[in-house]
Amino acid sequence: MPTVTILADNEVKGSRPKGLRAEWGFSAAIDDLLYDTGQTGVAAHNAALLDEGPFETIVLSHGHYDHTTALPDFLDDADDLYCHPAAFEGKYHGDEPIGMRYDREWLESRIDVKTHTDPVELRPGIHALGEIPREYPDSRTGEIREDGELVDDPVRDDQSLAVESSDGVSLVLGCCHAGLRNTIAYAESVFDRPVRTVVGGTHLRADSREAIAPIVDWLDGRIERIAPTHCTGQVARRALDDRFGEAFVRVGAGSRIDL
């Protein structure tokens, strides 16, 4: 059974092994597959402590700095990098760049870059979902340039990992800018199987429970387990904890979750 190990997150879960670190960012491992890299070297540090890696394949959830800046820590061992082509777009928060700092040409000199918009099977039963159709509201962040002007970034490059199991599908999310409902619904349509487990950043960052109530209501009775990380706000964590009870799993850097 595949196990996801969280290498970088906003907080550390547990006190062992000693020396685990946290940062604003996300990275996770499934066997020799690395999903995102975080931003400051925390993922590589924690991977060594947790005896994870080396990684042959890297998948980027999207092109924001907190998921991609530590890419050089892993390029020497990896063969392939999968991402959406829009991961290389310039991304901004006002005047501040928040996108990936490495251009495609530089990365292609170090690793085989494979861009895709459709689902791709990376390992037997493990898929990168590609671009997510959006029936429900998404979770946009920042701006991109179009015709010389800054416009809202739909983060078209946002993708998640889907892991098939005997009774359904587990999702590993980076930030889920495409929207949690959209991502779950798309995974279920692709595999014609229910999503049972969700692990990762949900980008549920509303300041009130009322704002996220429709999402929590939609999830209730649909999924069996949720382990939110990174960009999930405290209001959302409390609401999900209250609703899911024992099916709400507290995780952080160092956590391992059987899928």
Global pTM exceeds 0.85: yes
Residues 6+ apart with CB under 8 A from 207: 233, 235
Per-residue pLDDT of the chain in tens (259 residues, 90 and over written 9) = 799 999 999 999 987 899 999 999 999 999 999 999 999 999 999 999 999 999 999 999 999 999 999 999 999 999 999 999 999 999 999 989 999 999 999 999 999 999 999 999 999 999 999 999 999 999 999 999 988 889 999 999 999 999 998 889 999 999 999 999 999 999 999 999 999 999 999 999 888 889 899 999 999 999 999 999 999 999 999 999 999 999 999 999 999 999 8
Please report where in the chains the tokens 């209501």 appear, as a residue.
217
The residue extents of the domains of the chain are 3-258
Neighbours of 67 (CB within 10 A): 27
Amino acid at 211: A
> What is the bridge-based pairing of β-strands 96-97 and 92-93?
antiparallel
CATH of region 3-258: 3.60.15.10
